[in-house]
Amino acid sequence: MKIRPESEIPIFLQITQGLEDAILAGVYPEESQIPSITEFATTYKINPATALKGINLLVEAGIVYKKRGLGMFVATGAVEALRKKRKEQFYDTYVVAMLEEAERLQITPEELREMMERGWKK
Amino acid sequence: MKGIQVRNVTKTFGKVTALEQVSVIFEPGKIYGLLGRNGAGKSTLLNIITNRIFPDCGEVTLDEEAIQERDALLGKIYLMSEKTFYPESMRVREAFHWTKMFYPDFDQAYAERLAAQFALDTGKRVKALSTGFLSIFKLVIALSVNTPYVFLDEPVLGLDANNRDLFYKILIEKYSETPFTMIISTHLIDEVANVIEDVVIIKNGRVICAEPRETLLERAYTVSGPAAVVDTFTAGRDVLGVETLGGFRLAYLMGTAPDTLPKGLEKAPVDLQKLFIQLTNV
Amino acid sequence: MNLQGSFRYQLADHKKSIFIFYLIMFGLYLLFCVGLWIDRAYDQEINSTVNLGEGMTTLIFLFVSGLCSFKENFGMLTQNGVSRKSLLVGRILVMATICLFMALVDKVWYFVGSFLSPLFDDAVKQTLFLDLLYHRSAEDSMLLLYIKSFFFNYAVYFAVMSAGFLITVIFYRLGKLGKLIAGAGVPALFLIVLPIVDFQFFAGEISRNFWSFVGRVLGIHSGNPWCAVATCLVVSVGLMTIGWILVRRVSLHE
């Protein structure tokens, strides 16, 4: 997981997304502990409030939960929930952007389909 | 109202006005970035708050009580300044000892540990320290003093990249454990941009901006594209500055960007350092 | 008030120099004793009185200590959140303590010296600071002499140290030009201009009156050191009042 300060995405969202990616990739399996706010803040040299804000988004979404005095853990069913959410976002974030770029480059739907076939095969 | 409140402070040095009608609030438990160009008045402001110099008019309060000449209140603030006021012949270890005397919450064992982490020789005298180690020496005290208000004026002066990294790490660690108010005055804005919560920008002795970093950055944006299109778009808007490269132009603007832009234009957020440069250019 | 910190820090600043001062003084004293004692083996007439560790040497030492007691302390104490008021009150207490200590050491030294001297055939005789200005009255008991001499030393030391402190504060507050005027102008005024004016136009009346005034307030004419004690106290209070006015609004120099 990497934080890019120069990115257009606010830092707290980068934390959220980075953690989501890590959970989806199995870095933090369900019911395992994720790093603390302090660890996030010190590792990425960011204000703890920013890290808290990013992680709270996952707490609100039920992806991670707090155990008093112990830390934060990945919820059971988190992977499934994330996958569902990401699929919903997939069209907006990737498909729309891809089509816009395709239009700029005057790529025809046929060419695009062909490219995707090629990508699947790899 | 809790925190440090600066009200209508003006300070002149001879014919030079260092601060003019400055009013600003520093709340408990927040990290502030005090930004300004050379000679803008940052150090003067910090020196006035800590009773090192007197304002011509205006006042400074801590939790609604005037700070001036009050030991009990001054003992809640530690200012690490660019200039060193520890006697030259004093050893680092002795400075730790005396700091404990003046600031009872100073953690001597922690200071010794930090010194070891930074490879600062506590047996050395202040005058024998290089610029970098002099900064480290003062930083170690500032990070161990445990006062509710810690001001750092140019904290990383002369520190190499490794030590700067270590410093930011320790600072955030410390702050995460027990939040305290920190004012960091620095020219290396990129390095602290994500550490600070609120930004205070001083320009020619006046506070031109004091707000959360996020809201400030939300208020600014850039548009770029063909020069003519950019110019049409920026006409009548609050333009901070433009950069031109051939027929390509990039404009820095304050305000909220419209959702849809004219064809050919692209908008992007601004980072703190770039925004600072635009805001404080002449 | 962070008085305790202010007091302990400023006192510690003097400890080393006082120790070194006495080391040197005592060394010189022994040197004199031994040296004159050996000399005496050749010439029975040799006789000498010493005034070490009491009187002028101590005065100069304290004056210089006073001169060195502001700039660095002000920086260090301000860095550590101590107000100017605590600095000044701490300074007064430190001066009172040091002068007390040194006035006591004077008496102990004199007492011990009066036993040491015979060991060296009385080649070296000690004198009291008091003896420089006043004649010993025959009816005074030894105890009274000790008491008089103690208070006299104490009061003079304190006044002199206060003067040193005040001068350094004045210099700290002055700008470059002011420092030059005060540094060169004031001595020139008192040592050159005033004497010339005095002798040219007033036939030395001014200096005569001045010295007679000094003699009177110090009780030299009446042989009464208690006058000097009182005068020194008044002078010290005056110097410290001016000191407070100057320190109250002083800015820490960058």
pLDDT digit string (tens) for B226-248?
A: 999 999 999 989 999 999 999 99
**Pick among C8, C71, C80 to test the B interface (most B CBs inside 10 A):** C80
C-alpha A22/C-alpha A14 separation (Å) is 12
Q: What are phi and psi of C188, to 5 degrees?
A: -60, -40
C-alpha A85/C-alpha A63 separation (Å) is 11
With vertex at residue A77, the alpha carbon angle to CA A72 and CA A80, rounded to the nearest 5 degrees, is 120
Provide the shortest C-alpha distance from residue A66 to chain B (in Å).
17
pLDDT higher than threshold 90 for residue C175: no
- Mean pLDDT in residue range B44-63: 96
Give me the half-sphere count of Cα atoms (radius 13 Å) on the Cβ side of residue B96.
23
- In this prediction, residue C12 carries a pLDDT of 93
Residue in chain B lying closest to A8 (CA): B269
Q: Which one, of C6, C172, C12, C11, lies nearest residue C77 by Cα? A: C6
Average pLDDT of every residue of chain C = 87
Provide the percentage of residues in chain B whose pLDDT is more than 70.
100
- Measured CA to CA in angstroms, residue A76 lies from A25, A32, C154 at distances of 15, 10, 83
- CB nearest C81 (choices: B43, B54, B102): B102
Beta strands in B63-177 (DSSP E): 65-66, 77-80, 149-153
- Using a threshold of 3 CB pairs under 8 A, tell whether chains C and A touch: no
Tokens standing for residue B6: 């600066």
Find tokens 């064992």 and name the residue.
B109
Q: Please count the other Cβ atoms lying within 10 Å of the Cβ belonging to residue B204.
A: 16
For residue B47, the chain C residues in CB contact (below 8 A) are 252, 254
Residues in chain C: 254
- In this prediction, residue B203 carries a pLDDT of 96
- In this prediction, residue B62 carries a pLDDT of 97
Provide the percentage of residues in chain B whose pLDDT is more than 90.
91
Contact C72 B87 (CB under 8 A): yes
Q: ipTM score here?
A: 0.92
Q: Is B174 helix (H, G, I), strand (E, B) or coil?
A: helix
Q: Please count the other Cβ atoms lying within 10 Å of the Cβ belonging to residue B38.
A: 6
A11-78 classified as CATH 1.10.10.10:
yes
With an 8 Å Cβ cutoff, is B39 touching chain C?
no
B40-49, B228-237, C198-207: lowest mean pLDDT where? C198-207
In which order are the strands placed within the sheet that holds B198-203? Answer: B77-80, B149-153, B181-185, B31-36, B198-203, B206-212
Cα pseudo-dihedral A94, A100, A105, A109, rounded to 10:
80
What is the interface size between A and B, counted as CB pairs within 8 Å? 45
A31-40, B178-187, C13-22, C184-193: lowest mean pLDDT where? C184-193
Contact A5 B190 (CB under 8 A): yes
- In this prediction, residue C195 carries a pLDDT of 85
What residues of chain B, 246 to 265, have a C-beta less than 8 Å from chain C? none
- In this prediction, residue C123 carries a pLDDT of 64
With an 8 Å Cβ cutoff, is B19 touching chain C?
no
Contact C83 B77 (CB under 8 A): no
Of residues A121 and B167, which shows the higher confidence score?
Answer: B167
- In this prediction, residue C27 carries a pLDDT of 87
For residue B194, the chain A residues in CB contact (below 8 A) are 3, 5, 11, 44-47, 50
pLDDT tier for residue B120 given thresholds of 50, 70 and 90? very high
Provide the shortest C-alpha distance from residue B87 to chain C (in Å).
6
Contact C82 B85 (CB under 8 A): no
pLDDT higher than threshold 90 for residue B138: yes
For residue C85, the chain B residues in CB contact (below 8 A) are 69
- In this prediction, residue C62 carries a pLDDT of 95
- CB nearest C5 (choices: B51, B83, B102): B102
- CB nearest A46 (choices: B173, B194, B271): B194
- The pLDDT tens digits for A50-62 are 999 999 999 999 9
For the domain made up of B4-215, give the CATH fold. Answer: Rossmann fold (3.40.50)
Q: Is B241 helix (H, G, I), strand (E, B) or coil?
A: strand
Provide the shortest C-alpha distance from residue B269 to chain A (in Å).
6
C-alpha C159/C-alpha C235 separation (Å) is 6
DSSP for C155-197 reads HHHHHHHHHHHHHHHHHHHS-HHHHHIIIIIHHHIIIIIHHHH
pLDDT tier for residue C51 given thresholds of 50, 70 and 90? low
pLDDT higher than threshold 70 for residue C43: no
Provide the percentage of residues in chain C whose pLDDT is more than 70.
93
For residue B78, the chain C residues in CB contact (below 8 A) are 81
Q: Which one, of B193, B145, B183, B186, lies nearest residue B27 by Cα? A: B183
pLDDT tier for residue C1 given thresholds of 50, 70 and 90? low
- In this prediction, residue B68 carries a pLDDT of 93
- In this prediction, residue C35 carries a pLDDT of 78
For residue C72, the chain B residues in CB contact (below 8 A) are 87
Residue B201 is classified by DSSP as E
- The pLDDT tens digits for C80-111 are 999 999 999 999 999 999 999 999 998 888 88
Contact B98 C9 (CB under 8 A): yes
For residue B71, the chain C residues in CB contact (below 8 A) are 1-2, 81-83, 86
- pTM of the full predicted structure? 0.89
Of residues C184 and B119, which shows the higher confidence score?
Answer: B119
For residue B178, the chain A residues in CB contact (below 8 A) are none
Chain B neighbours (≥3 Cβ pairs under 8 A) are: A, C
pLDDT higher than threshold 90 for residue B184: yes
C51-60, C95-104, C148-157, C165-174: lowest mean pLDDT where? C51-60
Q: Is A45 helix (H, G, I), strand (E, B) or coil?
A: coil
What are B153's strand-pairing partners? B185
Provide the percentage of residues in chain C whose pLDDT is more than 90.
45
- In this prediction, residue B225 carries a pLDDT of 93
Residue in chain A lying closest to B274 (CA): A6
pLDDT higher than threshold 70 for residue B63: yes
- Mean pLDDT in residue range C171-183: 87
pLDDT tier for residue B31 given thresholds of 50, 70 and 90? very high
- CB nearest B101 (choices: C9, C85, C86): C9
Q: Please count the other Cβ atoms lying within 10 Å of the Cβ belonging to residue C40.
A: 18
Whether C5 contacts C11, CB under 8 Å: no
C-alpha A19/C-alpha B220 separation (Å) is 28
Angle, helices A37-44/A48-60, rounded to nearest 10 degrees = 130
Tokens standing for residue C1: 């008030």
For residue C249, the chain B residues in CB contact (below 8 A) are 54
For residue B70, the chain C residues in CB contact (below 8 A) are 83
- The pLDDT tens digits for A21-31 are 999 999 999 99
Identity of the residue numbered C70: F
3-class secondary structure per residue, C236-248? HHHHHHHHHHHHH
For residue A44, the chain B residues in CB contact (below 8 A) are 194
- In this prediction, residue C45 carries a pLDDT of 63
- The pLDDT tens digits for B76-100 are 999 999 999 999 999 999 999 999 9
The widest CA-to-CA distance across chain A, in whole angstroms, is: 57
Domain ranges of chain A: 11-78, 86-121
CATH for B219-280 (3.40.30, 3.40.630, 1.25.10, 3.30.70): 3.30.70
- CB nearest B172 (choices: A5, A10, A41): A41
C-alpha B5/C-alpha A58 separation (Å) is 36
- In this prediction, residue B279 carries a pLDDT of 95
Of residues C131 and B274, which shows the higher confidence score?
Answer: B274
Contact B50 C81 (CB under 8 A): yes
Residue in chain B lying closest to A12 (CA): B194
Residue B151 is classified by DSSP as E
- The pLDDT tens digits for B141-173 are 999 999 999 999 999 999 999 999 999 999 999
Contact B197 A44 (CB under 8 A): no
Contact B83 C249 (CB under 8 A): no
Provide the shortest C-alpha distance from residue B101 to chain C (in Å).
6
- In this prediction, residue B66 carries a pLDDT of 96
Contact A5 B175 (CB under 8 A): no
Sign of CA dihedral C180, C183, C186, C190: negative
- CB nearest C79 (choices: B69, B71, B86): B86
Contact A47 B31 (CB under 8 A): yes
| CB proximity list for B116: less than 8 A, separation 6 or greater | none
- In this prediction, residue C47 carries a pLDDT of 63
pLDDT higher than threshold 80 for residue B109: yes
Q: Which one, of C148, C144, C117, lies nearest residue C50 by Cα? A: C117
| CB proximity list for B70: less than 8 A, separation 6 or greater | C83
What residues of chain B, 87 to 116, have a C-beta less than 8 Å from chain C? 87, 98-99, 101-103
For residue B79, the chain C residues in CB contact (below 8 A) are 79
With vertex at residue B147, the alpha carbon angle to CA B24 and CA A50, rounded to the nearest 5 degrees, is 65
- In this prediction, residue C202 carries a pLDDT of 85
Q: What are phi and psi of B188, to 5 degrees?
A: -90, 75
